[in-house]
A and B are shown apart, each in its own frame.
Chain A
Amino acid sequence: MPGERKPMRYGHSEGHTDVCFDDAGKYIVTCGSDGDVRIWESLDDDDPKSINVGEKVYSLALKNGKLVTAASNNTVQIHTFPEGDPDGILTRFTTNATHITYNRSGSRVAAGSSDFMVKVVEMYDSSQQKTLRGHTAPILSVTFDPKDEFLASASCDGSVAVWKIEEQTQVTSWPLLQKSNDVINAKSLCRLAWQPKLLAIPVETTVQLYQRDSWAQVGTLSDDLGTQAINVVAWSPCGKFLAAGSIGGLLTVWDVESKLCVERQTHEKGYTVCGLAWHPLGGQIAYTDTEGCLGVLDGLSSSSSSSSTTASSTTTKVSLWSYMEQAPASYNDLFDDDDDRPMDEGISEGTCSPAKNPGDEDDDDDLIPATGRARNRSAFLDDENSLDTGSLKQGLDKFVDDDDSAIVPPAAAAAPLWPVYDGPMPTPPQKAFQPGSTPAHLMHRFMMWNSVGIVRGYNDDQDNAIDVEFHDTAVHHAMHLTNSLGHTVADLSQEAVLLACPGTDELASKLQCLHFSSWDTNKEWMVDLPKGEDVQALCLGQGWAAAATSALILRLFSIGGVQRELFSLPGPVVCIAGHGEQLLVVYHRGTGFDGEQALGVQLLQFGQKRRQVIHGEPLPLSRKSHLSWLGFTAEGTPCFIDSEGVVRLLNRSLGNMWTPVCNTRDNCKGKSDHYWMVGVHENPQQLRCIPCKGSRYPPTLPRPAVAVLPFKLPLCQTTTEKGQMEEQYWRSVLLHNHYGFLSSSGYEIDEEGQSQAQKEQQELLMKMFALSCKLEREFRSVELAELMTQNVVTLAIRYASRSRRMALAQRLSDLALEKANQLQGEEPQEEEEEEPLQYTRRNTGSGLGRSGSAGGQNRVTNVLDSMMLSSKKPTALLSSSGSTGKLNKTPFLKPLAPRPKTKVQHNSVYVRHKSGFQLWLEDNRRIILADNPDLEETDVIKEAIGRFRTLSADDRLTWTERAKGQSGDVADMKKRKRGEEENRGDKNGQSEADETRQSEADETSAKKKKPFDTSAKLSAFAFNKN
């Protein structure tokens, strides 16, 4: 019967191999003694993906996209599937593990080892292990009870034992096997298999079946042709058939109920079969031998039918497929499982796969509802057997016969074997963690790496200690503490080190604070938490500490140890972060499904005005990712990174939305490389992280070096000039939002940096403007001009008029006027506040230059050191200076209406914010009015524009520069303003005000070389573009 047994493929080097299918049955996954895991898309896959996991691989198991392998380095490792990225180490033994297996849901892994132990490890928390001791020789194989209650293991000591997992006790044990001293010497691998009721144990040439609970032997399966010991057994997904592979290469499939052998195949070379797996849909068996070859037994149905063609309709050997269709029905009686009727549709269609999620299917031809059954199935078969049409034809005919005759099973009666839930699966919630720490199970690990320093934890045989080291030795010298309490979480700030340990049976969970910056002699305090409450996450802010506990309480302490507020969290905490007066809390909002986490975030503000800034909104993570870092930028903007490497920053000017600012994975060279975040700085724009080759986190030795990544907003078409500039502009806007926040919460800000940023933004806008002008996109140009400050709009007007775009220039001048009016509308309210503001600024002005330039590299210290709460909250600070107007700008859509003349006159004292043209207009308005006394306001302006254009270029430039020179220093401006108000009081005459202005303008332009230079540069740019 060559049609079913496909030719074997060379897969691995000679030696022990293992095989399994992925959940959907799309891939065959094999491992071998060459240390590779290969992922085959089919047997014909000429280029299987290879993952090297060690020197030798003894066993593998795959479920839920996690590939678990037992390698020769005595570990059980996890890799992601199908990517193959290392995902940590599940557990270790003192010698190699011999067999590993998943439980049905994939939440646990059992591993048997040559050190006589069986371990049951929770997939999502490898620290929760159960060890089953009792065997007195290396373990041969392990298998889970499908109901997850028991575990069976076979050992070289000759016994097969059943364990109760929770109690870690042996329930029963049978001395069935021959004794041997090691796995390689054992006669059979004795791979056990468990189907809900029956445990199959290969004993010599037979398979013995034991009943669950009663643990009595209920049957023996044997085959007359089988002369050599059976190595491996596997149940079909429907539980109806049992496949076995033997030393001599004999593959046998039994129908368990009738105990009849329905399929028999011999290995083409007679090598020992050591790995055997059923396709999750049945119908296909993959097997590997000790020579490293992979084989597939395919289309089991056609095999039996073709073998029975001679027997025609009276055949006793019916198609395996028909068997399988019947199986659910009969099993329904056999195993009185309930509540699964609604799910029978897909399953009745020949797929006996329980607990399978049809949504995951890629090849779902077999999942069409139960209508037109024969046709559908033939399509399925066609798919399976496309290689040999001859036998397929026969098989098909046979099938139609079968369907027409008595064997058609009632579709409605078909029911799966155990409760099937095929909706979205809940994601195990991610555990609480400290951002900037490496996993707790490591012996040497970083407990915290932040912008202040590094806390390392050592927990090995000789030593249990904590090292604290500061990046800046000026903060404090390095510390070495003995970790007698077993602290597991830590945080570090400029003021203190905060440590916490989980509680044990005798001792309560403790919070310890080393307040090294304290001025008294007592630099340490400790707090015991109430019994049963464990610290899960903690953080330090400026002058306070916070700890989130397992009782869903967030406790605040002062840095000196005074207990402060406490409040309840809406869900189990994931992590918390502090900065200055801000506290960021991320917790589980609910259960996530299909790999997603459902996290919520709260941002609280302490200090003068206590409030909640973000009220438990969902935290936007990437698809199927979890949170991997949470914190603040050095400037105090909340920021987080998910496991996909996407960095998101809170955009306070956009209603506290999270904006993706970088994908660290884009910078990785290898697929399994990651960046481990240690800090984010907005000015300069830096993501400080540690490149980790082939892992998610760095080892403590050799000491990793920090790398700096740039920010990059994921805007469209960043390869084009336009896209690049847009990205730069919005990045600049986003990353300078913190100025607004800092000043509004009463901190000093680096004004130099701020004006620098604005200059940069305006330059970018101007460039974009020029670009869109060149591309004849006038509407877009106006849109860009709306984002500009008024001064730059003037330049834009000139650029437009130079390049002969009169319509554009006209619109822009309207816009400029609008902006000017808007600015004037804001100013009167600010005047009252100006006095105290100016005082604050002057007061700190001298120190600011220094801290500003040092703030160029802004570490937390610098920011915090120079932050002092000013007594008055200068809410309107930003809008007071002309150059900062853009921060509170919004796209201004109001059409320009003619304004009452009086208002314009009233406001005319603020002309220094206007363009050269407007200055000129002020001067020449009377002349225009005199010439055309009956003109409306808009007409006056039009006329004025016309006249202004007739001026020589030099004249216009002088006007513009005069306008520029006047919008210089803020303080100067105010002085002048007051002076002018007096002037106005004396006399409303324009000419005198003009004189003052002119003389002052000269003064300013001489004194304030810098702003002048900038505008000159900008205007030069505008001209050059022309």
Chain B
Amino acid sequence: MDPSEVEFLAEKELVKIIPNFSLDKIYLIGGDLGPFNPGLPVDVPVWLALNLKQRQKCRIVPPEWMDVEKLEEIRELERKEDTFTPVPSPYYMELTKLLLNHASDNIPKADEIRTLVKDIWDTRIAKLRLSADSFISQQEAHAKLDNLTLMEINTTRSFLLDTLNCMYKLRSNLQPGSSGGKAQDHQ
């Protein structure tokens, strides 16, 4: 899965915007949106919010969790716990990126939020690497991956699978008699 695909999925998330135009309900395949009243918050998918924002048709209200204090709390918790802690949104990284890139003027303390989210992300990815390492070194058959987001799984998936395949190939090569055939199966 491509990160851009994950981002595409994230764009379906709802976000509050304050439109500066008036429009009746619009009926889309994904559901009805609106009505849009100038000055009145309304929930729309991120893709529409960004589109409207780029055309300067709305202000985006940052999601509740996109707040320095809350993120700091999450970061501390993430650092304290050995396992993955629940994240505020299954698409927190994507949303942060999208919203901060396109609507940083509507988000108070955008820079701090960017740093915080990056911190959380880094902590989690480090944990992921560590657990992958111990997973392999202890030769476990399965691992529990609670509270991981799609994007996080995605960053490690291709690498981890390829590595495991590779290792399997190497291991099976070690055993005499079963050289080529089996490794081929796992390609």
Contacts and interface: CB of A to CB of B under 8 A. Distances in A.
Contact of A859 (B18, B37, B56): B37
B21 A473 contact: yes
Given A472-B20, A473-B20, A702-B108, A857 B39 contact: no
Nearest to B106: A703
A313 B165 CA distance: 110
A471 B18 CA distance: 9
Given A702-B108, A705-B18, A705-B61, A856 B24 contact: yes
B24 to A, nearest CB: 5
A708 B40 contact: yes
A471 B38 CA distance: 5
Interface in A693-716: 701-703, 705-708
B45 interface: no
Most buried by B among A453, A473, A688: A473
Contact of A862 (B18, B20, B22): B22
B41 A706 contact: yes
Contacts of A705: 16, 18, 41, 61
Contacts of B56: 473
A854 B22 contact: yes
Contacts of B40: 688, 706, 708, 857
A703 B105 CA distance: 11
A470 interface: yes
Contacts of B59: 703
A853 B38 contact: no
B61 A470 contact: no
Interface in B52-69: 56-57, 59, 61
A470 B22 contact: no
A708 B18 CA distance: 13
Chain A interface size band reads 20 to 34
A471 B108 contact: no
Contacts of A216: none
A474 interface: yes
Most buried by A among B22, B35, B41, B108: B22
Nearest to B58: A473
A856 B35 contact: yes
A857 B38 CA distance: 10
Contacts of A701: 108
A470 B20 contact: yes
A701 B106 CA distance: 11
Contacts of B61: 705
A850 to B, nearest CB: 8
A472 B38 contact: yes
B106 to A, nearest CB: 8
B74 to A, nearest CB: 20
Contacts of B57: 473
Most buried by A among B16, B25, B38, B57: B38
Nearest to A474: B21
B22 A859 contact: yes
Contact of B39 (A471, A474, A854, A856): A471
A707 B18 CA distance: 11
Nearest to A478: B20
A146 B25 CA distance: 66
A728 interface: no
Contacts of A856: 24-25, 35
Contacts of B16: 705
A706 B39 contact: yes
Contacts of A474: 21-22
A856 B59 CA distance: 23
A327 to B, nearest CB: 58
Most buried by A among B16, B18, B39, B41: B39
Contacts of A702: 108
Nearest to A472: B38
Contacts of B108: 701-702
Contacts of B21: 472-474
A701 B41 CA distance: 17
Contacts of A861: 22
A582 interface: no
Interface in A313-337: none
A679 to B, nearest CB: 8
A451 interface: yes
Interface string B5-21: 00000000000101011
A472 B22 contact: yes
| Shortest beta-carbon contacts, A-B, top 5 | A471-B39, A471-B38, A472-B38, A473-B20, A857-B35
Interface of B: 16, 18, 20-22, 24-25, 35, 37-41, 56-57, 59, 61, 108
Given A453-B39, A471-B39, A472-B38, 8 more contacts: A472-B21, A472-B22, A473-B20, A705-B41, A706-B39, A706-B40, A861-B22, A862-B22
26 contacts: A470-B20, A470-B38, A471-B20, A471-B37, A471-B39, A472-B21, A473-B21, A473-B56, A474-B22, A678-B39, A688-B39, A688-B40, A705-B16, A706-B18, A706-B40, A706-B41, A707-B41, A708-B40, A853-B24, A854-B22, A856-B24, A856-B35, A857-B22, A857-B37, A859-B37, A862-B22
